[in-house]
Structure 1
């Protein structure tokens, strides 16, 4: 059994602990910490189950499953927070997830992979396509904020309509990027998977022996999704009071803390394959997760917010937008040549640390 599976199994003990903390009223801070830890192994199992089902389903359906469930944990947490009316935290978590994937996940991958290999290579074409799409997402997110910043009169109805329009465009763009990666230009995205297949068993007997148990993994997928939703209810219920008690602002909580909880699966996967010298897959996980949040999760939250009576627009804090633009620009610059080393990983991590400090000291 791998270290990843041992850790993810061991941390499941925090599920009953968090439930006990909630119902026995051990305090918001204890509930917050235990439920946050409980979500981490669930996120890992949700990601693992998606990957296993994708193997059996084949490249097209498997790719679609990964596209839909890739950031399911972040989406579930955000939906629960939106339902509770924590709109500022939800908005901050969107920008925070983009920033953490581009800077923290890619930074850790390049740093730890670079310590083992002097220089690592990946497909620059894929990085450029993802970078271009991320630039569009940043522009789309920036526009509603800019409209408000440059208007003398702020019309909430106009901002809402603009946000819905932008959300619809982003969803269409995401659908086209999925079609691009799975159909018309799928060969660009197969390199990372091919590297993994080289390590896999090759004989017919071994392939049959290692074929995933589809009913089992579908069950794990459903159970993990339900468990994440349940734990998210507990987590979100305690997050406001607990972070306020720690002196943390909703901005810092959403940008830094929530992505660390919801994005555990991406961190583990990206770093693990980078250490195996598969930077193609590592970069695709980091940048693909950012794209999923910017082009699908954020628009879905805008549309669902209108339906459930918790209207959310794309008018982000101006500093959040600047931070996302900085993260996208630096990630694009570093990934342009299709090569990475440990120093580039340090640069990404340093940028993330500086931005994290800025959000921590940012006035309310």
Structure 2
């Protein structure tokens, strides 16, 4: 068993601790910390279960499952925050996930992988396609905000209607990217799930067919557990962040994405250190694309359905962070090669943005 897997197994102890902290009405800060730590291993088990089911389902359906459940943890946390009316936290967590995956995850992967291997390579064609998709995502989330700032008298309903229309377009583009990656140009994405063997909480052998009922049960149980822990996390969020002296903006952009993406982050870094940079970049950039093209639009449509005025009118400061993250990530990844210095540049950019959000007075 790897060190990462031992850590994740140990973190499972925080599930009963968080439930006990809520039941006995402990300090909200304790509930927040224990719930956040318990989500990390649960997200890892959700990822493992999805991969195992995908082996049985076949490459097409398996790819669709991975694409759908890739950011399930963040989606669950965001839905619960959306129901609670914490719209600014939801928006901040979306932009934070994009920034964190492009700068922190890819930066750490390139840096640690580059220390072990002088030069690492990945598909430049895919890097250019992903760069174009990220540029589209920036345009899509920039327009509603520009719409708002250039028309001071605009009604909130108009911004929401515009956001709904944009969301439908983004979901359509996301479906087309799945068609591109799994059907028409699948040969470009020849990074098998098996490459990830040994990097999950429980190693599995490709020599036997996984137990479908078992892994469907694991996926269902982990999803329910994540939903419960997310309720605790969101319920204690405001009081806990106030005690920590943090703004909702910093919490949404930095803390929540790290909690929701921790298992995925560990996988990306682990495979990069095994010189599988194709898979590492696929995890980091693919997660950002899924957030921008699928998760954010789904939340807008869901908010409209449940009466929460969720839209794509983001905080301009967050938009600047996303834009510069996409700019530097596209610049570094466009040649299909990486080294430790390029990883360090991405990490430095993330630290600068993290400090900016920490000192930003926005509540």
Superposition TM-score, scaled by structure 1 size: 0.95
Alignment match, 1:263: 261
Shift of 1:49: 1.0
Whole-angstrom distance in 1 between the partners of 2:206 and 2:37: 35
Does the Cα contact within 8 Å between 2:127 and 2:334 map onto a contact in 1? yes
Counterpart among 293, 303, 316 of residue 295 in structure 1: 293
Does the Cα contact within 8 Å between 1:8 and 1:45 map onto a contact in 2? no
Alignment match, 2:84: 84
Alignment match, 2:192: 193
Alignment match, 1:243: 241
Alignment match, 1:156: 156
Shift of 1:212: 2.3
Give the SS at the match of 1:232: helix
1:202-257 deviation per Cα after TM superposition (whole angstroms, max 9, x unaligned): xxxx753x432222211111110010001000010001110012111111110000
Alignment match, 1:337: 335
Superposition TM-score, scaled by structure 2 size: 0.96
Deviant stretches of 4+, over 4 Å: none
Does the Cα contact within 8 Å between 1:56 and 1:212 map onto a contact in 2? yes
Whole-angstrom distance in 1 between the partners of 2:271 and 2:216: 24
Counterpart among 327, 332, 338 of residue 325 in structure 2: 327
Does the Cα contact within 8 Å between 1:96 and 1:256 map onto a contact in 2? yes
Establish whether residue 7 from structure 1 lines up as the match of residue 7 from structure 2. yes
Alignment match, 1:115: 115
Whole-angstrom distance in 2 between the partners of 1:238 and 1:361: 22
CA RMSD of aligned residues (A): 1.6
Establish whether residue 217 from structure 1 lines up as the match of residue 215 from structure 2. yes
Shift of 1:303: 0.6
1:257-281 deviation per Cα after TM superposition (whole angstroms, max 9, x unaligned): 0000000121011111101100001
Does the Cα contact within 8 Å between 1:54 and 1:66 map onto a contact in 2? yes
Whole-angstrom distance in 2 between the partners of 1:194 and 1:7: 23
Whole-angstrom distance in 2 between the partners of 1:113 and 1:77: 31
Alignment match, 1:315: 313
Does the Cα contact within 8 Å between 2:174 and 2:293 map onto a contact in 1? yes
1:8-157 correspondence to structure 2 within 5 Å:
8-157=8-157
Q: Name the count of aligned residue pairs.
A: 357
Alignment match, 1:202: none
For residues 314 and 362 of structure 1, do their structure 2 counterparts lie closer, same or farther at Cα, with a shift above 3 Å needed? same
Give the SS at the match of 1:25: coil
Whole-angstrom distance in 1 between the partners of 2:196 and 2:222: 26
Alignment match, 2:202: none
For residues 262 and 213 of structure 1, do their structure 2 counterparts lie closer, same or farther at Cα, with a shift above 3 Å needed? same
1:41-72 deviation per Cα after TM superposition (whole angstroms, max 9, x unaligned): 00111111111111221110110000000000
Does the Cα contact within 8 Å between 1:42 and 1:228 map onto a contact in 2? yes
For residues 33 and 114 of structure 1, do their structure 2 counterparts lie closer, same or farther at Cα, with a shift above 3 Å needed? same
Does the Cα contact within 8 Å between 2:120 and 2:337 map onto a contact in 1? yes
Give the SS at the match of 2:12: helix
Does the Cα contact within 8 Å between 2:160 and 2:311 map onto a contact in 1? yes
Does the Cα contact within 8 Å between 2:196 and 2:271 map onto a contact in 1? no
Does the Cα contact within 8 Å between 2:76 and 2:226 map onto a contact in 1? yes
Does the Cα contact within 8 Å between 2:121 and 2:277 map onto a contact in 1? yes
Gaps of 5+ in 2: 199-204
Does the Cα contact within 8 Å between 2:97 and 2:291 map onto a contact in 1? yes
For residues 182 and 284 of structure 1, do their structure 2 counterparts lie closer, same or farther at Cα, with a shift above 3 Å needed? same
Shift of 1:195: 8.1
Shift of 1:321: 0.5
Establish whether residue 352 from structure 1 lines up as the match of residue 350 from structure 2. yes
Whole-angstrom distance in 1 between the partners of 2:322 and 2:214: 39
Whole-angstrom distance in 2 between the partners of 1:250 and 1:198: 37
Whole-angstrom distance in 2 between the partners of 1:163 and 1:302: 7
Whole-angstrom distance in 1 between the partners of 2:116 and 2:55: 29
**Most deviating of 70-79 and 263-272:** 263-272
